[in-house]
Copies of this chain bind each other. A is one copy, B any other.
Amino acid sequence: MAITLSRMGVKYTQPSSAVRDKLRPVYGENADSLIASSQVIALNFQTVAAANNYWRH
């Protein structure tokens, strides 16, 4: 779910899937891009976890 949200953010900014596919190998092999990506996922995970009230019940 956090990952779906992260993908949506990228999709909105670059709607062309052809361009996104071209970029994937670039950042997939770059350590800093991977770290930045996992930061976006971490932010979205905060939202999802809070939305689910941290699965408390």
CB distance from A13 to the nearest CB of B (A): 4
Known contacts A23-B34, A31-B26, A34-B14; is-contact A43 B50 (Cβ 8 Å): no
- Helix, strand, loop or mixed for chain A's interface? helix
Tallying the copies of this chain within the complex gives 6
Interface residues on A, range: 35 or more
CB < 8 Å: which of B19, B23, B38, B49 contacts A13?
A: B38
CB-CB under 8 A from A36, the residues of chain B are: 32, 35-36, 39
CB distance from A9 to the nearest CB of B (A): 3
Seen from chain A, the residues whose Cβ lies within 8 Å of a Cβ on chain B are 3, 5-6, 8-10, 12-14, 19-20, 23, 26-47, 49-56
